[in-house]
Amino acid sequence: MRFETPLLPGTLVARYRRFLADVRLADGRIVTAHCPNTGSLLGCDTPGERVWLSCATHPRRKLAYTWELAEVAPGVLVGLHTGRANGLVEEAIRAGRIAALAGYTDIRREVRCGREASRIDLLLAAPDRSACYVEVKSVTAAVENGIGLFPDAVSRRAVKHLRELMHLAGEGRRAVLFFCAQRADVVEVRPADAIDPHYGRVLREAMRCGVEAMAWRAEVTLDGIRLTEPVPVVCP
């Protein structure tokens, strides 16, 4: 996935009200950008860090800028836009890079299913096999030794999605939880038990019930983001 237009560099002043971030541009101007991430941005929203913004092409949009990337350590870029995760996973599946999800000829997004009126992120289908239901989660938080964590804030919505996957698996359907780590320094993904212990408990239950959990990390550059290789999902 390549960015449609060149990103604009800046320095983070502050993130606030969840969806807003003030950024100082190279010319000294401070602009307010949309923050497309509902989490806490654990380790990714330190004032003074280098960030990059995309510019909106629609003239009527309320905020002209969107916060896309943050440099959380020298040379370590993190993609913060959770809305891009589904596209990254779909792109990798269509390119045949994800062997565990290869062979499906049709991919549909946001398909309503389950018992709680949810929409599955990706529904994979093919004439010669049963459908595969894929729920995508964007991982931005990581701690020492490259351990990626999800979620980075208490998330009832994420627990709801796990329950839906469990229902699907219980009906004999293939259900997949896909952690999309939008950073290259992640070597494994774990549930953030210290942040949301309930999510961790439900994730382990879901895996015991047949839900497949997989994770991939990405190469993040100023030109774009690309999933590159799988990393293990570890639930100690």
Residue 135 backbone class (left: φ over 0; alpha: ψ -120 to 50; beta: rest) = beta
Domain boundaries in the chain?
A: 8-79, 82-231
For the domain covering 8-79, report its CATH number: 2.40.50.580
pTM listed for this prediction:
0.95
117 has a pLDDT exceeding 80: no
CATH fold for domain 82-231: Trna Endonuclease; Chain: A, domain 1 (3.40.1350)
Beta strands in the chain (DSSP E): 8-16, 20-25, 30-34, 50-55, 65-73, 76-79, 106-113, 118-126, 129-139, 141-143, 147-150, 174-181, 188-191, 212-220, 225-231
Q: Give CA angle at 148 (147, 153), nearest 5°.
A: 130
> How high is the pLDDT of residue 2?
96
Residue 89's Cβ-side half-sphere holds a number of Cα atoms within 13 Å equal to 31
214: Cα within 13 Å, side-chain hemisphere: 15
Task: Mention every residue, 6+ apart, whose C-beta is less than 8 A from residue 171.
Answer: none
The answer, yes or no, to whether residue 57 has pLDDT greater than 90, is no
pLDDT at 61 over 90: no
Question: Predicted confidence band at 118 (pLDDT cuts at 50, 70, 90)?
Answer: confident
What mean pLDDT comes out for the span 20-31?
A: 97
H/E element, 83: none
In this structure, what token pair is assigned to residue 67?
């916060």
CA–CA separation, 202 vs 232, rounded Å? Answer: 18
